[in-house]
Amino acid sequence: MINETYPSKLLEQAVQELSRLPGVGRKTALRFALFLLNRPTDEVHALSQSLTALRDDVKHCRVCHNIADTDVCDICGNPRRDPAVICVVENIHSVMLIENTGQFHGLYHVLGGVISPIDGIGPGNLELDSLFQRVEEGGIQEIILALNPTMEGDTTNFYIARRLAHTGVKISVLARGVNVGDNLEYTDEVTLGRSIMARTTLTA
Amino acid sequence: MINETYPSKLLEQAVQELSRLPGVGRKTALRFALFLLNRPTDEVHALSQSLTALRDDVKHCRVCHNIADTDVCDICGNPRRDPAVICVVENIHSVMLIENTGQFHGLYHVLGGVISPIDGIGPGNLELDSLFQRVEEGGIQEIILALNPTMEGDTTNFYIARRLAHTGVKISVLARGVNVGDNLEYTDEVTLGRSIMARTTLTA
């Protein structure tokens, strides 16, 4: 639809705003808007209010910077979690993904991004100082770096490892290897190469 | 993600509301919510307000029932459109699609649906009486039925044609045939059969 003509400015505005969402083009935005036009008023108000409330009222945990409804998030405030292990992640989504595995019982630290000079993001733009401070305060035995396996993730891993080298805290990264259930035929060379080098022993 | 754990109730609520949108599952809704969390407050407010305004303030044209910002829509109020030809459509989206072809210069009538006994939608639930009234008022030469080529669309076409039979107004339906640019190999039998029966003459 090149020469779009909207029967209403309000519709056009709603389409305009909805099409900012990731992966939503003007066609999908129009579909959303026409769908909402046919829904009960209460439901549309509930959607609008939930978005405004999310943006305005959500808090960030003052310890790990994960989002929370309270000053300290449920994970940091849980006495059954192991405070000696901190998993460093890029964003909130990573926290949710790792929590869903059910395999991690320590605490988190959300950086809010990774070092990326090309995007103008340096160490100062991330929650790195607060991480180093948590380590300085003591009681931490291991830092797990769970950033995305990209160049920027690796740079950030290297930066953190160097800054924490003097503390003697153990620093680990996520295992890199072939995906569970994947086919070697479709695994890229770098991953396959690394998975051979980092092979694990089955028999003693 | 079966055992979803949200770090914040506000996030969970936003995901819940966003996942009502057509074609949006919980994963996409979460992606939308996390995206909005990182956007400027103003932008999120603009989105919320545009949705509320769309639902609360949009009007329906009192002549054709298309949506509009005024009592009578831009199409009905345009003196250069031909008031003798009315194109009957199912919804607002159809009006936009037909307008975008640039091939129709008459007026519209938006039914707000089609007759569908299985969904409990009878003639009384649609803007049919107002259509018949427009015809009774005179000055109309042709009614083009542009409903979706489904069983319900055909039922509605048949109902309208029967109710208007006594008026002598010409009633037409959209041509059915093979799609422009399509391959006969992929055209279904019913469409191909109809396109043979409704063939058009190239030479006199």
What is the model's pLDDT at position A29?
Answer: 95
Both tokens of A104, joined, read 């991690």
Checking ipTM against 0.90, whether it exceeds it is: no
Average pLDDT of span B82-90: 94
- In eight-state DSSP terms, residue B2 is -
Average pLDDT of span A118-141: 93
- Chain B contact present for A73, CB below 8 A: yes
- Chain B contact present for A172, CB below 8 A: no
What is the model's pLDDT at position B201?
Answer: 73
Structure-token match 């939308």, residue found:
B32
- Chain A contact present for B157, CB below 8 A: no
CA distance B147 to B112: 11
For the entire predicted model, the pTM comes to 0.80
Shortest alpha-carbon distance between residue B50 and chain A (Å)? 5
Q: Inter-chain contact A11–B66, Cβ cutoff 8 Å?
A: no
Average pLDDT of span A23-36: 94
Q: Chain A residues with CB inside 8 Å of B55's CB?
A: 36-37, 39, 41, 44-45
Strand partners, A109: A88
The total number of residues shown for chain B amounts to 204
Q: Chain A residues with CB inside 8 Å of B81's CB?
A: none
pLDDT at residue B195 greater than cutoff 90: no
Q: Inter-chain contact A10–B54, Cβ cutoff 8 Å?
A: yes
Shortest alpha-carbon distance between residue B197 and chain A (Å)? 32
Q: What is the mean pLDDT of chain A?
A: 89
Average pLDDT of span A39-54: 94
> Cα torsion for B170, B87, B153, A25, to the nearest 10°?
160
- Would you call B172 helix, strand, or coil by DSSP? strand
Question: Which of A90-94, B18-22, B164-168 holds the top average pLDDT?
Answer: B18-22
Q: Chain B residues with CB inside 8 Å of A52's CB?
A: 44-45, 48
Give percent of chain A above pLDDT 90. Answer: 68
Q: Compute CA B117 distance to the chain's CA centroid, rounded to the nearest angstrom.
A: 19
Query: Could you give phi then psi for residue B38, rounded to 5 degrees?
Result: -95, 0
pLDDT at residue A2 greater than cutoff 50: no
pLDDT at residue A123 greater than cutoff 90: yes
| Banded pLDDT at B7 (limits 50, 70, 90) | confident
What is the model's pLDDT at position B1?
Answer: 43
- Would you call B86 helix, strand, or coil by DSSP? strand
- Would you call B6 helix, strand, or coil by DSSP? coil
Of B39, B49, B100, the CB nearest to A1: B100
What is the model's pLDDT at position A141?
Answer: 93
pLDDT greater at residue B179 or residue A80 = A80
Q: Inter-chain contact A10–B75, Cβ cutoff 8 Å?
A: no
What string of DSSP letters covers B174-199?
----PPTT--GGGS-HHHHHHHHHT-
Shortest alpha-carbon distance between residue B83 and chain A (Å)? 18
Q: Chain A residues with CB inside 8 Å of B59's CB?
A: 8
H/E/C letters for each residue in chain A? CCCCCCCCHHHHHHHHHHCCCCCCCHHHHHHHHHHHHCCCHHHHHHHHHHHHHHHHHCEECCCCCCEECCCCCCCCCCCCCEEEEEEEECCHHHHHHHHHHCCCCEEEEECCCCCEHHHCECHHHCCCHHHHHHHHCCCCCEEEECCCCCHHHHHHHHHHHHHHHHHCCEEEECCCCCCCCCCHHHCCHHHHHHHHHCCCCCCC
CA distance B113 to B120: 11
- Chain A contact present for B42, CB below 8 A: no
Count of CB atoms within 10 A of residue B164's CB? 18
